[in-house]
Structure 1
Amino acid sequence: MGGVPLLLALLGALWAQSARAGSHSFRGFYSSLSEEVPGVPRFSIVGFVDDVPIEGYSSDTRRLEPRAPWMRKIEDPQYWERNTENARGTEPVMRADVKTVMGRVNHTRGLHTVQQMYGCELRGDGTIGGFLQYAYDGGDFLSFDKDQMRFIATATPAQVSADRWNSEKSIAQRWKASLEEECIEWLRKYLHHGKESLLRRVPPGTMVSRRKSGDRTLLTCYAYGFYPREIEVKWIRSGVEMPLEWSQLLPNPDGTYQIKATVEVQEGDEKNMYECQVEHSSLPEIVTVVYKEKSPGPSIGLIAGVVLAVVLAVGLAAFGVWYTFFRNKRPVKHGYTPPREGPA
């Protein structure tokens, strides 16, 4: 499906945004397909706080449902019913938008999708941010510059919508107020309800290993089981930071994270000391793990555990892709819902 690469990119952007120290964000994602695909909802929703899915809607179930246990703490009994109705009302509008955009780009048939991502950020320094983006078939289509109060066509067929929306100043004003006020208000509420999960600090476990890859010798530093996501892992050789050959951060099934950072070393370079330094908000100071030439590699059990975590993490990432993109017609008092103008 053409939209999948963009969804993965958007999820990556979401994770990158949430990795700013002390910052928190709300992200709403929603998507509509031009035709039915077996096993894939034609219209789907997901809402995130930081990188945690908190609520979702599917055209298969036709209900907005909690994705995080603490979301059941929302004290308003109307929250789920009202927002379910908003999602149901959005569904046919989004389907019409897909058809309209298809006409703009001269697509008469086939599988196509319109997607939207919007949200807000409460940064560690007290400042706020907000954004709105549309995509068609996985490519940028239209975006909103909140500071300039303008809609920007990132694809030629979107210029019609950008011109029309920019001629009606009230549309930009509604979006700016929605992102800076209502979205931030609900982000604070979500953080309050989910503070035991979202604001927790779990320190990482650490270990290092050595392996051969062809004629190369690689050292890998593992940090695992930590939360929140933001972390810094460095390799130091005799006091000098080394460039990383490869680094990957992945989610674990229990909501924590793991990362491994790999460097190449010269075979037989025993005179230099290699150190892995791990910095995380849960740690009172930087943790240093020294690699010793004769130290044993990781146990089979630990390797199996890391592999299992990676496999399950991939499953979680796929889950996040299918439950995408949330959109509503107008703001209501029962949870954050943005203005409803579509890209068509």
Structure 2
Amino acid sequence: MATLKDVAQKAGVTVTTVSRMLNNRVNISEKTRKKIMDAMKELDYQPNELAQSLTKKRSNFIGLIVPSAKNFFFSQVIEYTEQAVVANGYKLLLCVSNLQLEKELEYFGMLKANKVAGVIIASHTQNLRDYLSFDAPVVTIDRIISPDIPSICSDNYHGGELAAEHLLGCGCTSLVYLSGSAGLDMDANKRFLGFRDTCEKAGMESPLFIDASEESFISMHYEAMIEELFYDHPGIDGVFTSNDIMAAQLVQYLSAQGKRVPEDVKVIGYDDTDLAALCTPPLTTIHQPVKEICSAAVDYITDALNAADTAKASRSAHGPASGGRTMLPQSVMFPVSLIKRGTA
């Protein structure tokens, strides 16, 4: 494997010159720059960007923390965030916490030590505001940690309203909401509030509320909860779930029990992941624009960095600014929509 010294010898320059060029610390002539770049290409030399970050005020990486990489929703978050990060000239550092606070704190330490340009938090771990102390911008996806930390969410409350309106419009009279995170302080819990409020406004009884365990969320196995639900409440004719995985397993269970979907039981999922269109029948679900949400999160970080750089340049040129700092939006909410397919 080629080293910095190998590149310097090949290019006929000093190791210091190569290092300074890679870290943009001094102006290098185009002739010298080309010699170094040609040597790097010929030797297949790959700079260690994490190591370089130790000599800079910030690195070229943006960190993303998610609770799971297996979950269909979070796999989309990873994919779309990576696309947006690369499009903005950065690289992604992915951290999977599996809902473990200790693991997440280790990731925070690693991200801080490597001077990431920003951090996107899409995990479910609670009480994070007590541990966050970053010089870099931080933004959350689908949760609100603190008024001081920007959040990018979808309109979860309206998603619940849409699900209730559709099931009631289909003639359902015995409704249930299956949640994957009710015990956690998440913006997604507003889905049930919108669902419940719409049912009550229509003169219906408040729907049943069933919550899955954190273990079920990580393993993506909800079968035992679903079996117990229909054993205790066999007359249910309309179900709204907090994610598409739960809805897909529900449809599978009902089919095995000889119940027809949507004739006997109507089912609505949430997220509109790729899984929704692959089920039999395909899932009716609430679509949230995951790609746009992830792009907005990355845009917030890059806008914050650009604003900080502009302010710094202005101070260097003109002295301390007389006005306040550039204000960026603290929260963004994206609209959701009902995608009607075959389960409701």
TM range, smaller chain: under 0.3
Q: TM-score with structure 1 length normalisation?
A: 0.24
Higher relative contact order (Cα pairs below 8 Å, separated by 6+ residues) = 1
Higher strand proportion, which one?
1
Larger radius of gyration: 2
Structure having the larger proportion of residues in helix: 2
